Chains A and B, each alone.
Chain A
Amino acid sequence: MTWQSILVDMLTYVFLAYSIVLLSLYVFIGLYSIGEIKKYLFKNSFTDYRALASATQAPGISILAPAYNEGANVIENVRSLLSIHYNNLEVIIINDGSKDDSLEKLIAAYDLYKSDFFVNEQVATKPVRGVYKSRARKYRKLIVVDKVNGGKADALNVGINISQKDYIVCIDVDCILEQDALLKLAKPFLENTDKRVIATGGVIRIANGCTIEDGMLVKINLPNSFLPRMQTLEYIRAFLLGRMAWSRLNGLLLISGAFGAFDKEIAVKCGGYDHNTVGEDMELVVRMRRYMEELKQPYIVSFIPDPLCWTEAPASFKILGRQRNRWARGTIETLRMHKVMFFNPKYRLLGMLSYPYWFFFEYLAPIIEFVGMSCFIILALFGLTNWYFFFCLLALVFSFGIMYSIFAILMEVLTYNQYNRYRDILKLIGTALMEPFIFHPFVVWSSIKGNIDLYQKKNSWGEMTRQGLSTPKKPNS
């Protein structure tokens, strides 16, 4: 045996072992999520959420919606937030130093005046320029804050400081909420008697292609264009299988920044959103969990599998690439900030399972995939390994990937069945078949670029946070 062949064998086995562990975990996640979804749906079938909308005992909720250069749609978006059925509610729109006429438009449309408002600075933020309220009684739930630009995390922190309710719900202002979204998100906070619910996450679905009128979702359609449809499949898989399983284990690390609810007291005690990371949504959840673990207080991060919030997905490779690049950086930054938890039994499930999973299979997966693939191609080119083996391995991983996606589509059909035409389902299956060849390599490449960018820009944090909201501006159809 030459040293080359030993090296090749070792590489092969490491790569193979990693793949097998990853595939087994996916199988576990897929199967483990079924029970939880079933339980939730049964429970849902005889729960009347409306009871909560008007109950005097319902918890107070502040919706925090940061807006940066949203002038085109801001009036409609705010209107749709104000039409939510929930009595004990305030809607806080944070104008993050927009360069357009968002603020002027809001002032005119909602008859706003600048009120003297003491901003309780529990979390340090960029200066607030003014707090506006409406003269009209029907808009009494609305508060508009004008502040100096500081990025999404900073805007949300201002919202936390302004909020006078016990719970905060953070949303992207251009998201479209289902009618009872807020009720469903609020309920877990009232349900647990022995553990404190510190956060609840909702499901995000892709709105591209859907019919939207006056800021309201009228008809659900499968996106027609290629990239949004790929993401539709990706979101179904991630939310219906991944998050559901993690929530059953109470090991959920990520609540989407586009729609999530938090216990304000805990969020404030943890110091609010961190504007030093581009992954502020994940980082906050991790920090809140860590805080509770360190206090040794029982807690839950809850998750609602119902589609609650619809958002426009990036439709061009350029914008999608930027988004995935940012997600990769956010993950690394979060993991780095909390590395003390890595296999640390003091943090129980969080340290022994959630964190390592994210490290090995969310952060490392694209890197290993990229490196492994490159190595095999190089080795095969030099004739050090045979092409047959290479293609077998590739086929194994691809066929598994496709099977997993099909499983996710099956679960969607059996549960929510939102795309109920044969044609749509066929299209989704087609998407699943194509994904490993076109979409997936692009996502991996974007995330590798994120790693490189982070490495290069390590010392210039400030540059990134001043770009306004971290969501790249999405085209509105």
Chain B
Amino acid sequence: MIFFEVAILFFICVTFLMILWMFINLTIKKVRDGRYKKLKNMADILIRNAIFLEQTEEIKLIPITARTAKMLSNDNFRSILTQELLSAKKNISGTAAVNLENLYNQLNLDKYAVKRLRSRRWHIKAKAIQELGIMGQKTHLNKIYRSTNNKNDLVRMEAQTTIVKLYGFEGLRFLDVVSYQISEWQQIKLLQELSRLAPDNFSGIEKWLNSTNMSVIVFALKLVRNYHRFELYDRITELLNHPNEVIRLEAIYTLEKIYTNETSKVLIDKYPLETLKNQKAIVKALQDVGYDDDIPVLIQFLGQDENELKRLIVRTIANINPEGLTEVENLPQSNQYPLDQIIKQIKGELI
């Protein structure tokens, strides 16, 4: 029985300790929240002063009150200020943005970030990288560049994004060496980063298209279509024979954007060999790249059982030439399910 009594006592003690912890934590948070508003306000005034500062020859420094200067040694204030600076920098460009960077450097906030860059804890390191990137701190290139192949995925992703943020297309050279797969999410982020820059005839895509890292090939294909690199057309058509299904799919999407008048023939040739998913992609691509001559072949493709694919094929025919629909209607099975309903839907879409 003593076992029970000891165990019960233990549970009760732990419960009380946890309740105590809860209330201490709650109190700390309340105190911090109370101060937060005041500190944030101070930080915001400082930042707004920087934004509206008229740059002249003699005044390079942003005026800082003695009180604010004193506050800078307060960790809490510094972290709020950094946070606010980052969010302002994300929204503002031009001379005002340069002022924000100057303020950041003037207050030595970069020094603190660099210190955190050396941290062993991944989230601190990743956040420091992100901060340096947003604040345009190019002096720490080497450290950040080395992290583009870090074994922690978040550190790696932030480093890659930051390099691209700071160096534009030039920064993409980490793709030459990256050995980890680049997730779809990360690709979206990288492309978004690049979309801020003026298109540039950057080099390297040929190399990336031959990478042994599948995700690098996929990313390179996205670059080709976003930046209309028509000169790589032949290489892309070769990738339609790649053993990896995803790469073939991306190649189809890419050809849709850089097509010539031969493209529809190339895609139709590949159609019988492809997986269902890629067949759907080919049919969708033909909406843009197909010609009247392709309609008879497309009608032949209707002789399969997948209804979704059937609908896509009819839609593509209608998009290439609405007259094509009459040919579909002349088919013997056009009065039966599912083709009758598909035709109805597509007709409705044309109006």
Residues of A within 8 A of B (CB): 42-43, 45-46, 51-52, 55, 57-58, 115-122, 187, 189-194, 388-389, 392-393, 395-396, 399-400, 402-403, 406-407, 409-410, 413-414, 417, 420, 422, 425, 429
Q: A118–B342 contact, CB under 8 A?
A: yes
Tell me the residues in window 1-60 of chain B with beta carbons closer than 8 Å to chain A beta carbons. 1, 4-5, 7-8, 11-12, 14-15, 18-19, 21-23, 25-26, 29-30
Q: B8–A399 contact, CB under 8 A?
A: yes
Given A396-B4, A406-B15, 9 more A-B residue pairs with CB atoms under 8 Å apart are A116-B345, A118-B338, A118-B344, A120-B308, A388-B1, A400-B11, A403-B14, A413-B26, A429-B19
A400-B11, A403-B11, A420-B29 known; A389 vs B127 contact (CB < 8 Å)? no
Q: List, in ascending order, chain B residues with CB within 8 A of A58's CB.
A: 188
Q: A52–B188 contact, CB under 8 A?
A: yes
Q: B184–A57 contact, CB under 8 A?
A: yes
Q: How far is A187 from B185 in the complex, measured between Cα atoms in Å? A: 7
Q: B189–A120 contact, CB under 8 A?
A: no
Q: B8–A392 contact, CB under 8 A?
A: yes
Q: List, in ascending order, chain A residues with CB within 8 A of B185's CB.
A: 52, 187, 190-191
Q: A399–B181 contact, CB under 8 A?
A: no
Query: A395 is contacted by which of B4, B21, B122, B187 (Cβ under 8 Å)?
Result: B4
Q: A118–B311 contact, CB under 8 A?
A: yes
Q: List, in ascending order, chain A residues with CB within 8 A of B25's CB.
A: 413-414
Query: B184 is contacted by which of A118, A191, A400 (Cβ under 8 Å)?
Result: A191
Q: List, in ascending order, chain A residues with CB within 8 A of B307's CB.
A: 118, 120-122
Q: List, in ascending order, chain B residues with CB within 8 A of A43's CB.
A: 123, 154
Q: How far is A31 from B185 in the complex, measured between Cα atoms in Å? A: 30
Is B251 part of the binding interface, using a Cβ–Cβ cutoff of 8 Å?
A: no
Q: B183–A190 contact, CB under 8 A?
A: yes
The 0/1 profile, CB within 8 Å of A marked 1, for residues 176-206 of chain B is: 0000011111011101100000000000000
Q: List, in ascending order, chain B residues with CB within 8 A of A422's CB.
A: 23, 26
Q: How far is A51 from B192 in the complex, measured between Cα atoms in Å? A: 8
Q: How far is A212 from B199 in the complex, measured between Cα atoms in Å? A: 46
Q: List, in ascending order, chain B residues with CB within 8 A of A46's CB.
A: 123, 126-127, 130, 158
Query: B18 is contacted by which of A52, A119, A122, A406 (Cβ under 8 Å)?
Result: A406
Shortest CB–CB separation between residue A438 and chain B, in angstroms?
19
Query: A407 is contacted by which of B18, B154, B342 (Cβ under 8 Å)?
Result: B18
Is B347 part of the binding interface, using a Cβ–Cβ cutoff of 8 Å?
A: yes
Is B215 part of the binding interface, using a Cβ–Cβ cutoff of 8 Å?
A: yes
Q: B23–A425 contact, CB under 8 A?
A: yes
Is B348 part of the binding interface, using a Cβ–Cβ cutoff of 8 Å?
A: yes
14 pairs, CB–CB < 8 Å, chain A vs chain B: A46-B126, A51-B188, A51-B192, A117-B348, A118-B311, A120-B308, A191-B183, A396-B11, A399-B15, A402-B11, A403-B15, A406-B22, A410-B18, A425-B26
Closest partner residue, chain A, to B86 (CB atom): A46
Is B341 part of the binding interface, using a Cβ–Cβ cutoff of 8 Å?
A: yes
Q: How far is A422 from B30 in the complex, measured between Cα atoms in Å? A: 10
Q: How far is A402 from B19 in the complex, measured between Cα atoms in Å? A: 11
Tell me the residues in window 257-307 of chain B with beta carbons closer than 8 Å to chain A beta carbons. 307
Q: How far is A389 from B1 in the complex, measured between Cα atoms in Å? A: 7
Shortest CB–CB separation between residue A141 and chain B, in angstroms?
16
Query: B183 is contacted by which of A116, A193, A409 (Cβ under 8 Å)?
Result: A193
Q: List, in ascending order, chain A residues with CB within 8 A of B130's CB.
A: 46
A399-B11, A409-B22, A420-B29 known; A45 vs B342 contact (CB < 8 Å)? no
The 0/1 profile, CB within 8 Å of A marked 1, for residues 112-132 of chain B is: 000000000011001100100
Q: List, in ascending order, chain B residues with CB within 8 A of A121's CB.
A: 307
Q: List, in ascending order, chain B residues with CB within 8 A of A402's CB.
A: 11, 15
Q: A116–B126 contact, CB under 8 A?
A: no
Of B158, B187, B308, B347, most A-chain CB atoms within 10 Å? B308
Q: How far is A388 from B4 in the complex, measured between Cα atoms in Å? A: 11
Q: List, in ascending order, chain A residues with CB within 8 A of B192's CB.
A: 51, 55
Residues of B within 8 A of A (CB): 1, 4-5, 7-8, 11-12, 14-15, 18-19, 21-23, 25-26, 29-30, 122-123, 126-127, 130, 154, 158, 181-185, 187-189, 191-192, 215, 222, 307-308, 311, 338, 341-342, 344-345, 347-348
Shortest CB–CB separation between residue A381 and chain B, in angstroms?
21
Q: B345–A117 contact, CB under 8 A?
A: yes
Q: How far is A393 from B8 in the complex, measured between Cα atoms in Å? A: 9
Q: A45–B8 contact, CB under 8 A?
A: no
Query: A55 is contacted by which of B29, B188, B344, B348 (Cβ under 8 Å)?
Result: B188
Q: B123–A193 contact, CB under 8 A?
A: no
Q: A57–B191 contact, CB under 8 A?
A: yes
Q: B215–A193 contact, CB under 8 A?
A: yes
Q: How far is A413 from B348 in the complex, measured between Cα atoms in Å? A: 54
Q: B22–A118 contact, CB under 8 A?
A: no
Q: A413–B22 contact, CB under 8 A?
A: yes
Q: List, in ascending order, chain B residues with CB within 8 A of A193's CB.
A: 181-183, 215
Q: List, in ascending order, chain B residues with CB within 8 A of A52's CB.
A: 185, 188
Of A116, A191, A407, A409, most B-chain CB atoms within 10 Å? A116
Shortest CB–CB separation between residue A415 and chain B, in angstroms?
11
Q: B4–A120 contact, CB under 8 A?
A: no
Q: List, in ascending order, chain A residues with CB within 8 A of B345's CB.
A: 115-118
Q: How far is A119 from B342 in the complex, measured between Cα atoms in Å? A: 9
Q: A190–B188 contact, CB under 8 A?
A: yes
Query: A393 is contacted by which of B4, B23, B127, B181 (Cβ under 8 Å)?
Result: B4
Q: How far is A1 from B209 in the complex, measured between Cα atoms in Å? A: 82
Of A45, A388, A399, A402, most B-chain CB atoms within 10 Å? A399
Q: How far is A413 from B126 in the complex, measured between Cα atoms in Å? A: 26
Q: How far is A55 from B191 in the complex, measured between Cα atoms in Å? A: 9
Q: List, in ascending order, chain A residues with CB within 8 A of B191's CB.
A: 55, 57
Q: How far is A116 from B25 in the complex, measured between Cα atoms in Å? A: 59
Closest partner residue, chain B, to A393 (CB atom): B4
Shortest CB–CB separation between residue A201 and chain B, in angstroms?
19
Of A192, A407, A410, A429, most B-chain CB atoms within 10 Å? A410
Shortest CB–CB separation between residue A265 and chain B, in angstroms?
8
For the complex of A and B, the 9 pairs showing the least CB-CB separation, nearest first, are A193-B181, A42-B123, A190-B184, A116-B344, A190-B185, A399-B11, A392-B4, A118-B341, A116-B348
A43-B123, A116-B348, A190-B185 known; A396 vs B23 contact (CB < 8 Å)? no
Shortest CB–CB separation between residue A127 and chain B, in angstroms?
13
Q: How far is A121 from B126 in the complex, measured between Cα atoms in Å? A: 47
Shortest CB–CB separation between residue A42 and chain B, in angstroms?
4
Q: B12–A399 contact, CB under 8 A?
A: yes
Shortest CB–CB separation between residue A191 and chain B, in angstroms?
5
Q: B29–A417 contact, CB under 8 A?
A: yes
Q: List, in ascending order, chain B residues with CB within 8 A of A392's CB.
A: 1, 4-5, 8
A46-B158, A116-B341, A414-B25 known; A57 vs B8 contact (CB < 8 Å)? no
A190-B183, A402-B15, A413-B22 known; A120 vs B123 contact (CB < 8 Å)? no
Q: How far is A190 from B182 in the complex, measured between Cα atoms in Å? A: 10
Q: List, in ascending order, chain B residues with CB within 8 A of A116's CB.
A: 341, 344-345, 347-348
